Structure 1
Amino acid sequence: MNDGATPGGWLRIGEVARRTGLTVRALHHYDRLGLVVPSERSWGDHRLYSPSDLRRLLDVQHLRALGLSLAEVAAALDDPGFDPNRVLDEHIDQLRQRITLQQQLLERLSVLRAGNEAAWPDLLDTIALTARLRHPDATVRVRAVLDGEAIPLPVLLDRLATESDPAVQGMLAWAVAQHGTPAVGPLVGLLASPHADVRLHVVQALAKLGDPAAVEPLIGLLDDPAEPVRSASVTALGRLGDERALPALIRLLGGTEVPLSAAVTDALIDFGAPAARLLAADPPAGASARSQAVEVLAQIDSPAARDALLAHATDPDPQVRLAAVFALAGVPGEAADAALATAAASGDRQLVAVAERIIADRRR
């Protein structure tokens, strides 16, 4: 019969190959392995496949499509004790690993493509540099950052998001900052990183860039769970000098965390007169916050700062009064003299002693 089938419904190997899409060589291989052995042979010693042989062959193809090896396929078809779930679990794990690797490759290619505007030789240089940025030795990674004068921004951001060594993170943040304004948006995106050290270095990079677009995201980090990130955000806002940050910074006055408290003081002093005007117009409610406000005001040379110190010299809290009177030593004028005289006559022994000493010094 010219279709490859015999009168009894048997199929010759060529017809089996045509129907299944397998090659004759593969069918011979299955026969040698005992995986699918033709049930009959013709008078001319040609392999003849029965309908049951064909069904077994289809079962083999289906199992192979699931990723099973030929040995596993044979066991699945012939071993009564074969556990399909165990094999499937193993292949699921392997597939997940391959998907992860492929996803990582996709991300690497996307990063390289996003940062590539050069010819092929330059792209090869970038690939080599990227490999150094992934080197297991942190010293090699630092050197790669220092040597890479034109590392594409997407490559730097990708590494900053995944780097674990603080020294390398700092260098990557510095390198990102060299890209200027185009780096601001992507850096802000990295502030959502679950890793506090990444957020910390992103904040430091944003501080170096000095772009107003970073102000609102940095204000949002004042509630960050990591104190170093909060302190760095305060410092960055002080450097940026955008008055939108002042109300949020003033609300932090009186805190008990020493590094954060010191950062708030320094940041408000950096703002200068605008900070003094807000502190004078709306003094903080808590005594500890007012004490810290006095520390800030004492280091700002402005009319609003002087007026606020004079007001705090009669504060209801003795520690705030004492800090304000002590700060008046550097404030000239009759108003300060009058406030000092009032303090010297207050009856508060500690306040009187400080006020009298300052008055005596001013008379010299």
Structure 2
Amino acid sequence: MLIGEVARRSGVSTRMLRHYDALGLVRPTGRTVGGYREYAAEDVRRIFHVESLRSLGLSLKQIARALEDPGFTPSALVGDLIRWTEDRLAREQELLGRLRAVDASAPTGWQDVLRIVELLQGLDSTSAARRQQAVLTRPEDAPAPSDLLAGAVLSESDPNVAGALRWALARAGGDGVATLAVGLRSPDVDVRRRAVRAIAELPEAPGAAAALADALGDPDPTVRGHAALASGRRGATAAVPTLVAMVVAGSHDVDAAEVLGTLSRAPGSADRITTALVDELAAHPADQAVRLRLTQALVELSGPAARTALRTLARDEDGTVALVATGFLGLLEEGGDQGGS
């Protein structure tokens, strides 16, 4: 079989077949009278073996060794190939991310492209100060793409840089909530915490309310707490159980009490919130710290039910709780109920 026919049947170009011959990798068995290469069936099979190994990423030198050395074992080489391929894919994935970031910025000229590349290089720095500077020194008229910033927020562990990224994300004009919502589903609790904090600072972004509502069911109390404070400030009464739990636990309890007070002004909410706090008082009869926090939370609420609960606490068996409740009642009466029930 002449070289042209072999090329047609194998899909390997005549130029590559000549290269294989020159390297001694696949030499035709014979020659015609005119001196043309003539391949036997065994030669063609060897060509297919070579192409199969090339498809795995082996170099021609490695292929020659694999075909000629009876003692050559593939396990170590295949392991190396796996690692090289993984590294190459990681580099290509990084390149793809950079290209998508540039595309998302809708550049109008190469100057815009260079600004995005500069930001990406800054965010890749091992120095937290450099990453923060890359975010804060963006020109006013060149906000970064929201999805790029949101992705950076999810991976940023330095609190100062993370704060700068959240600021830039809010300033960018886009929302980035879709990217952050993916972070809320991460198995890594730190990623979920970063995501919920960033969403909480995007109050008007489409999808933010729904994402925060989902986060109220997160197994991590910190994630639930951020979601509850942000949702409650938006008027979502679904946050009430988590906010009450925060008061009990002493986790951002002052903030939680203030949000409960705001929610209590919605029709039908004051009695429900008061009942929830009173139930917690009954559940913690001997824990003075918890009872004091619950008493302080009741002061924030609107409606007569909260005032009644405070009067009951003014006669509490715990003298400190009773004293605090009495003091709050006096302040409320002096203030004509302003800011309270």
Please tell me the TM-score bracket, short chain as reference.
Answer: 0.7 to 0.9
Tell me, yes or no, if the aligned pair for 1:160 and 1:173 is still in contact at 8 Å. Answer: yes
Shift of 1:168: 1.6
User: Which of 283, 286, 311 does residue 286 from structure 1 map onto?
Assistant: 283
Equivalent residues in 2 for 1:121-132 (5 A)?
121-132=111-122
Equivalent residues in 2 for 1:127-138 (5 A)?
127-138=117-128
Residues 323 and 305 of structure 1: CA distance in aligned 2, closer, same or farther (over 3 Å): same
Shift of 1:324: 2.0
Secondary structure, in 3 states, of the residue corresponding to 2:38?
Answer: strand
Q: Where does residue 246 of structure 1 map in the other structure?
A: 240
Aligned equivalents of 1:243, 1:181: Cα separation in 2 = 27
Tell me, yes or no, if the aligned pair for 1:254 and 1:286 is still in contact at 8 Å. Answer: no
Per-residue CA deviation, residues 290-319 of structure 1 (Å, 9 max, x unaligned), is 542211233568655433311322456666
Q: Where does residue 358 of structure 1 map in the other structure?
A: none
Secondary structure, in 3 states, of the residue corresponding to 2:247?
Answer: coil
- Alignment TM-score, normalising by the size of structure 2: 0.76
Unaligned 5+ segments in structure 1 are: 1-10, 334-364
Instruction: Indicate whether 1:264 and 2:265 are aligned.
Output: no
Residues 191 and 58 of structure 1: CA distance in aligned 2, closer, same or farther (over 3 Å): closer
Per-residue CA deviation, residues 163-220 of structure 1 (Å, 9 max, x unaligned), is 3333221111111122457344544443234444444344333333334964554355
Q: Which moved more, 1:89-98 or 1:232-241?
A: 232-241
C-alpha RMSD over aligned residues: 3.5
Shift of 1:251: 4.0
Q: Percent identity?
A: 36
Tell me, yes or no, if the aligned pair for 1:276 and 1:297 is still in contact at 8 Å. Answer: no
Residues 185 and 303 of structure 1: CA distance in aligned 2, closer, same or farther (over 3 Å): farther
Aligned equivalents of 1:177, 1:116: Cα separation in 2 = 19
Aligned equivalents of 2:199, 2:136: Cα separation in 1 = 19
User: Which residue identity lines up with residue 264 of structure 1 in the other structure?
Assistant: A
Q: Where does residue 165 of structure 2 map in the other structure?
A: 172
Per-residue CA deviation, residues 91-149 of structure 1 (Å, 9 max, x unaligned), is 23333333333334334333433342644542343233333322333222212211223
Secondary structure, in 3 states, of the residue corresponding to 2:115?
Answer: helix
Instruction: Indicate whether 1:206 and 2:196 are aligned.
Output: no
Give the count of matched residue pairs: 321
Q: Where does residue 37 of structure 2 map in the other structure?
A: 47
Shift of 1:60: 1.9
Instruction: Indicate whether 1:20 and 2:10 are aligned.
Output: yes
Shift of 1:48: 3.2
User: Which residue identity lines up with residue 243 of structure 2 in the other structure?
Assistant: L
Q: Which moved more, 1:53-62 or 1:324-333?
A: 324-333
Q: Where does residue 37 of structure 1 map in the other structure?
A: 27
- Alignment TM-score, normalising by the size of structure 1: 0.72
